[in-house]
Homo-oligomer: A and B are copies of this chain.
């Protein structure tokens, strides 16, 4: 009899159609592209642009957007430290399922703490977690302020806002880093192309 955490009497069901067979069916390899960075750093823009580019190549991807999931799966969670951690854990678990289904799962979340991101990485088999760091200066993100949140945070109307009064811990060794060159941001298309090149090179876009 199995006993795990709060669950006992839970058995593992093996299914005759596995990840390898699904990957063969859609001619790609499942993985998680985890986009992390400050609010306003361009995570959602990259996620959309990447999903568009993959679709054009006939590849099936799915975007898990941190904000969107807070309307559904994670609607019981707030922004306390433990809720943030649980939010990221659940997105990691769901991303893992999508990768297992054979999809290229694009997760887009601020995910400010290294340990939470690393916990998601640890859920996946080696190399199937591709961390993309949107390394944009706070000043730029704050100047964009597309959601008006920095303004609210500076006015003290939001507490614990990443980059203002809560830390962002940059990755120590991410797979891909996006940054300005000579003060110019890469375009969404450029950023998507950079990730697609990586996926191509590592063999995720084919199953041979």
Q: Which residues of A contact B (CB under 8 A)?
A: 1, 4-7, 9-13, 15-17, 21-22, 25-26, 44, 47-48, 51-52, 55, 58, 60-65, 67-68, 70-79, 83, 86, 90, 93-94, 96-98, 100-103, 108, 123, 147-149, 152, 158
Contacts and interface: CB of A to CB of B under 8 A. Distances in A.
16 contacts: A4-B70, A4-B71, A5-B75, A6-B78, A7-B75, A9-B152, A13-B63, A13-B68, A17-B48, A25-B55, A60-B60, A60-B102, A72-B93, A73-B94, A73-B97, A97-B98
A79 B7 CA distance: 7
B94 A55 contact: no
Given A60-B26, A70-B4, A158 B9 contact: yes
B75 A12 contact: no
Contacts of A67: 10-13
In this complex, which of A10, A48, A78 has the most chain B Cβ atoms within 10 angstroms of its Cβ? A10
Given A13-B44, A25-B55, A67-B12, A78 B149 contact: no
Given A6-B75, A15-B65, 13 more contacts: A6-B77, A13-B48, A15-B51, A17-B61, A21-B55, A25-B60, A60-B60, A60-B101, A60-B102, A62-B97, A62-B100, A94-B97, A101-B101
Nearest to A102: B60
